[in-house]
Structure 1
Amino acid sequence: MILSLFTAIRFRRGRRKSGMVSLISIVSTFSIAIGIAALIIGLSAMNGFERELHNRVLSVVPHGQLYPEIGNLDNWRDIQQELKDNSPNIVSSAPFVSFTGLVENGSKLGAVEVQGVDPVQEQQISALPNYVLNDKWSSFKADQQQIILGSGLAKSLAVSEGDWVSLLIPVSSEPNQLKSPRRVRLQVQGILELSGSLSNNIALVPLSDAQNLLDMGDSVTGLMINVNNLYQANQIIGLAALNLNENMTFNSWENSFGFMYRDIQMIRQIMYLAMIVVIGVACFNIVSTLVIAVKDKQRDIAILKTLGATNRLIRHIFIWYGVISGLIGSIIGVILGVLMSWQLSNIMKGVESLMGHKILNSNIYFIDFLPSEIHFLDVLIVFVTAMLLSLIASYYPARRACKIDPARILNSF
């Protein structure tokens, strides 16, 4: 093996005698490098999207919700205690009130999903308070006529902190009758800075204020639930709901935002498939390189065979020849891919400044930048795959080198 590796290295150093072999070898090496770099960058971007989905979206929305099949939840404190005592996989729970309304500022109107939350318990179940600008959550209290608006909604209504808005709440009416909505004046206590559609139609009011606005007494719409395993939220919350003493309906984040996670995983699988195809095409350029190299080195092969070299040695020499080309391309690709992935966000900021607009619109996507997170397991998988394909691509030309007849070749010179 050492002799075959040494001979392959000497053959590669002598390849410059043939300009065609040299050119094809360089092209195949850099094709592998570019393919590997592109795949590492793509996989790192998918890892970044998954991280931001977990840290931004799934940290501010509850993992699940429990609510009665009909009406409001009256004995929510008992159920909260029951979950704490009998469901070890449920980390925390908090009551909420949810209703739809309109927010009015002058002639501007915006539909809004109003969430009544307990300011203290919300901090225990969600990272939502961390996204309220200027630390206004600390002064978010009941009985103060306060409301927190999502940044997208505040922008469309042209309001800022301290402004007053009108909240229009629908009032239930008899059949064939239409009652005017209830109008309440509230002061914008803070702005909730969340990217994407989350900030376009959300408003927060203290829990007791929401109960008073809807004349609910001490009832709530339901309970927000956080679990210890985010990706098994459906099973955990479903099992907890079955074990309660009364019939409860539940849903989880997978119903509302699961499509984002599934899309990321689907793209990741597509990229792994693309990895095999792209690197495979690049690696099989090695076939062309080795076929020409075998043709170019016929005399050297014939001399080696007359000196006693076996077909096994010749085969190993050219397998090493191809593997070395794949190794060089793979190392260059890994270095290039890791460096670009490391600075991907900054690179995209530079591209956006040159283009003059954002690539990811924060009104549509849940982030407005291109994230990146390098997983060295992905890098290792890409590298090993490239090396395996280089090995497979080297086998056929190496077998052809074994079939060279030394007598015929040497007699022709």
Structure 2
Amino acid sequence: MNLAWQLASRFRRGKQKNGYISFISFSSTVGIGLGCFVLIVLLSVMNGFERELLNRILAVIPHGELYAVNSEGIENWKEEIARLEQDPRVESIEPYTKITGMLQHKGSLKAVEITGLDISRASHDRWRDQVTKAGWEQFTSGDDQILLGQGLMQKLSLSAGDRIGVLIPTATDNMAFKAPHLMHLTVAGSLNVGGEMDNYLAMMHLNTASKESGVTSGAQGLRFMLKDPYDAYDTMRSIGYDFSQAVYISYWMRTQGHLYNDIQLVRVVVMISLTLVIAVACFNIVSTLVMAVREKQGAIAILKTMGAGDSLIRRTFMIQGLINGVTGIVCGTVAAVFVAPNLSAIVTFIEKQTGITVLSGDIYFIDFLPSELQWQDVVITVSTAFVLCLLATWYPASRAVKVDPARALNG
């Protein structure tokens, strides 16, 4: 192996005399390095989006829900919570009552989805980070307080302390028309979740929401936070089928799952496309080695007449090609490892310098480019690139083995 390394290094130094071969060799190294760099960085961005989805959206949106079929609500919901919290798959459970109505302020109307929650439960710490400290203190000061999405407050020009009205549809047993009920509330502060949810989301106290919507049991349904959010489908169906009363079953992938599916789709597309970029760069290694074998036929013939075996010749040219590939892999990976964790700060700096916004908070659920480097992505990228480089060297090395010494020396 030491002799193969020496021969490969000698052939690489001799290769520099041919400018065309040197250019193709350099382009293959750059292509492989660039492919590894971009692949690791983009996978880190996908990881960042997934992290923000869990930390922001699922801090407010529950992993799963059970809500009563009848209008009275969940019967004996305190006992049900105590029982279901023993399930090892469940992290926490909250009672809730949801109201869909029209928010009214100074002649303007806006559709709103209000969730009534019990603020005394500690699991609310998951979404309290989306509320300012002053807003939270005001919210806990009285039952008539409400938190509104930031986008909703901006569209209606609302601020903390404003009085608003909420028109709630009134259900009747005989399906007859009845005027909506008007509920008056005080805006405590804004709820900043991100994206379109800020344009319709609101939160209020559970007892007030249940009273105004006619839920006699005190809670319309139960919100579940699970230890594994990605197992919500199976977990919620298992819990719902065994529940003591008839309930509807919902889980976060029904309402916000399109965000997660989009992230996974982009991840797959990025992986496939950039792997193909690396594969194309590896074809340059094939071209470089094929031309190197043709140029070094005389040297190969001399080595064979001196007793060099086929394995030595094959290893020599495979090492020569792998040097290009490994150089590109190392350079691209090292650059990505330094850039990926700092990508958010880099993009923020570029936005300030150019005035261009990469992500708009009005459209996406975040207003910055997230990034989270995961070492398994680095390992997969490096392994894939190395295997492709190894495969690219096999054919030229096999051609070198088949060189006929007599014909090469006579030619």
If the TM-score is normalised by the length of the shorter chain, which range does it land in? Answer: over 0.9
Describe the shift of the 1:382–1:144 C-alpha distance in structure 2 as closer, same or farther (beyond 3 A).
closer
Residue 51 of structure 2 aligns with an amino acid whose one-letter code is R
Match of 2:168 in 1: 169
| Structure 2 Cα separation of the partners of residues 43 and 230 of structure 1 | 21
5 Å matches for 1:148-187?
148-172=147-171, 178-187=177-186
Which secondary structure state, in structure 1, belongs to the residue aligned with residue 186 of structure 2?
strand
Match of 2:77 in 1: 76
5 Å matches for 1:178-217?
178-217=177-216
The answer on 1:238 being equivalent to 2:237 is yes
Q: Which moved more, 1:17-26 or 1:127-136?
A: 127-136
Match of 1:364 in 2: 363
| Structure 2 Cα separation of the partners of residues 93 and 360 of structure 1 | 34
Is the contact between residue 65 and residue 221 of structure 2 (CA under 8 Å) also seen in structure 1? yes
Residue 363 of structure 2 aligns with an amino acid whose one-letter code is I
What does the per-residue CA deviation read over 1:328-387, in whole Å, with 9 as the maximum and x for residues that have no partner? 111111112222212221232234335534222212211111111111111111111111
| Structure 2 Cα separation of the partners of residues 263 and 192 of structure 1 | 25
Match of 1:398 in 2: 397
Is the contact between residue 72 and residue 222 of structure 1 (CA under 8 Å) also seen in structure 2? no
Describe the shift of the 1:324–1:306 C-alpha distance in structure 2 as closer, same or farther (beyond 3 A).
same
Root-mean-square deviation over aligned CA pairs: 2.1
Shift, 1:54, TM fit: 1.2
Is the contact between residue 102 and residue 112 of structure 1 (CA under 8 Å) also seen in structure 2? yes
Structure 2: any 5+ residue segments left out of the alignment?
Answer: none
| Structure 1 Cα separation of the partners of residues 96 and 301 of structure 2 | 84
Shift, 1:110, TM fit: 1.3
Which secondary structure state, in structure 2, belongs to the residue aligned with residue 408 of structure 1?
helix
Match of 2:270 in 1: 271
Shift, 1:72, TM fit: 2.7
Describe the shift of the 1:97–1:142 C-alpha distance in structure 2 as closer, same or farther (beyond 3 A).
farther
Residue 72 of structure 2 aligns with an amino acid whose one-letter code is N
Describe the shift of the 1:312–1:89 C-alpha distance in structure 2 as closer, same or farther (beyond 3 A).
closer
Match of 1:251 in 2: 250
Match of 2:49 in 1: 49
Residue 168 of structure 2 aligns with an amino acid whose one-letter code is I
Q: What is the aligned length?
A: 410
Which secondary structure state, in structure 2, belongs to the residue aligned with residue 62 of structure 1?
coil
Is the contact between residue 96 and residue 223 of structure 1 (CA under 8 Å) also seen in structure 2? yes
The answer on 1:408 being equivalent to 2:407 is yes
Match of 2:19 in 1: 19
Match of 2:9 in 1: 9
Which secondary structure state, in structure 1, belongs to the residue aligned with residue 98 of structure 2?
strand
Describe the shift of the 1:244–1:185 C-alpha distance in structure 2 as closer, same or farther (beyond 3 A).
closer
TM-score (norm 2): 0.93
Shift, 1:65, TM fit: 1.0
Is the contact between residue 31 and residue 277 of structure 2 (CA under 8 Å) also seen in structure 1? no
Is the contact between residue 197 and residue 364 of structure 1 (CA under 8 Å) also seen in structure 2? yes
Shift, 1:249, TM fit: 2.2
| Structure 1 Cα separation of the partners of residues 405 and 214 of structure 2 | 99
| Structure 2 Cα separation of the partners of residues 68 and 213 of structure 1 | 17
Describe the shift of the 1:289–1:30 C-alpha distance in structure 2 as closer, same or farther (beyond 3 A).
same
Q: Which moved more, 1:263-272 or 1:360-369?
A: 263-272
| Structure 1 Cα separation of the partners of residues 318 and 173 of structure 2 | 84
Is the contact between residue 62 and residue 126 of structure 1 (CA under 8 Å) also seen in structure 2? no
Shift, 1:248, TM fit: 2.4
Is the contact between residue 318 and residue 397 of structure 1 (CA under 8 Å) also seen in structure 2? yes
Residue 52 of structure 2 aligns with an amino acid whose one-letter code is E
Residue 358 of structure 2 aligns with an amino acid whose one-letter code is I
Describe the shift of the 1:341–1:273 C-alpha distance in structure 2 as closer, same or farther (beyond 3 A).
same
5 Å matches for 1:305-384?
305-384=304-383
Residue 180 of structure 2 aligns with an amino acid whose one-letter code is P
Which secondary structure state, in structure 1, belongs to the residue aligned with residue 16 of structure 2?
helix
Which secondary structure state, in structure 2, belongs to the residue aligned with residue 329 of structure 1?
helix
The answer on 1:116 being equivalent to 2:116 is yes
| Structure 2 Cα separation of the partners of residues 174 and 93 of structure 1 | 31
Match of 1:298 in 2: 297
Which secondary structure state, in structure 1, belongs to the residue aligned with residue 66 of structure 2?
strand
Q: Which moved more, 1:351-360 or 1:125-134?
A: 351-360
The answer on 1:388 being equivalent to 2:363 is no
Which secondary structure state, in structure 1, belongs to the residue aligned with residue 160 of structure 2?
coil
Shift, 1:296, TM fit: 2.1
Is the contact between residue 143 and residue 209 of structure 1 (CA under 8 Å) also seen in structure 2? no
| Structure 1 Cα separation of the partners of residues 384 and 84 of structure 2 | 48
Residue 115 of structure 2 aligns with an amino acid whose one-letter code is Q
Is the contact between residue 305 and residue 405 of structure 2 (CA under 8 Å) also seen in structure 1? yes
Identity %: 39
Is the contact between residue 166 and residue 184 of structure 2 (CA under 8 Å) also seen in structure 1? yes
| Structure 2 Cα separation of the partners of residues 8 and 17 of structure 1 | 15
Shift, 1:177, TM fit: 6.1
| Structure 2 Cα separation of the partners of residues 315 and 392 of structure 1 | 13
What does the per-residue CA deviation read over 1:122-171, in whole Å, with 9 as the maximum and x for residues that have no partner? x4155112211234223423754211111010111111112222222223
Which secondary structure state, in structure 2, belongs to the residue aligned with residue 111 of structure 1?
strand
Which secondary structure state, in structure 2, belongs to the residue aligned with residue 147 of structure 1?
strand
Structure 1: any 5+ residue segments left out of the alignment?
Answer: none
Describe the shift of the 1:88–1:329 C-alpha distance in structure 2 as closer, same or farther (beyond 3 A).
closer
Match of 1:92 in 2: 92
Residue 338 of structure 1 aligns with an amino acid whose one-letter code is V
Match of 1:101 in 2: 101
Residue 36 of structure 2 aligns with an amino acid whose one-letter code is I
Residue 17 of structure 1 aligns with an amino acid whose one-letter code is K
What does the per-residue CA deviation read over 1:379-401, in whole Å, with 9 as the maximum and x for residues that have no partner? 11111111111111111111222
Q: Which moved more, 1:319-328 or 1:356-365?
A: 356-365
Is the contact between residue 104 and residue 165 of structure 1 (CA under 8 Å) also seen in structure 2? yes
Residue 55 of structure 1 aligns with an amino acid whose one-letter code is N
